[in-house]
């Protein structure tokens, strides 16, 4: 059995994989599954009803007001906001943590990066 302080790596493979421990005959059974993690936003910005470039301009202003590491939840209804937010976060270096689309509403979670 591995101890918590054992620095040797363990490789995990596919669902129900087996890993034979280092020379001791131990077998570790691993069940992998997708785990949903809720993202907590530090601020929320509702840009519903606004067309380009307003969601990006308001997002920039809101992100500028956050501390590094904080997350902004931005809500938009403009279909172009998906490509706009992808391009803007790529250009600025801020992290697009997640985005969701539901019934014409686009929700983005953006983490401010230094």
Between 11 and 71, residue with greater pLDDT: 71
Average of per-residue pLDDT values in the chain: 80
Q: Is residue 98 a contact partner of residue 39, using CB atoms and an 8 Å limit?
A: yes
**Phi, psi (degrees; rounded to nearest 5) at 19:** -130, 125
User: What confidence tens digit (pLDDT) does each residue in 2-35 have?
Assistant: 334 444 444 444 444 444 445 555 555 556 666 5
30, 41, 52, 54: the catalytic one is 52
Among this protein's residues, is 47 annotated catalytic?
Answer: no
Q: Is residue 1 a contact partner of residue 21, using CB atoms and an 8 Å limit?
A: yes
- Cα–Cα distances in Å, from 92 out to 42, 96, 112? 19, 11, 10
User: What confidence tens digit (pLDDT) does each residue in 95-112 have?
Assistant: 999 999 999 999 999 999
Question: How many of the other CB atoms lie within 10 Å of CB of 85?
Answer: 21
């Amino acid at each position: 059995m591995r101890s918590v302080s054992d620095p040797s790596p363990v490789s995990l493979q596919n669902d129900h994989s087996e890993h034979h421990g280092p020379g001791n005959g131990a077998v570790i059974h691993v069940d992998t599954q997708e785990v949903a993690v809720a993202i907590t936003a530090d601020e929320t910005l509702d840009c519903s009803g606004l067309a380009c470039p307003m969601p990006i301009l308001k997002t920039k202003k809101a992100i500028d007001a956050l501390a590094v590491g904080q997350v902004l939840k931005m809500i938009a209804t403009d279909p172009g906001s998906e490509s706009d937010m992808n391009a803007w976060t790529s250009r600025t270096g801020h992290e697009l943590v997640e985005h969701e689309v539901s019934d014409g509403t686009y929700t983005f979670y953006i983490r401010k990066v230094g």
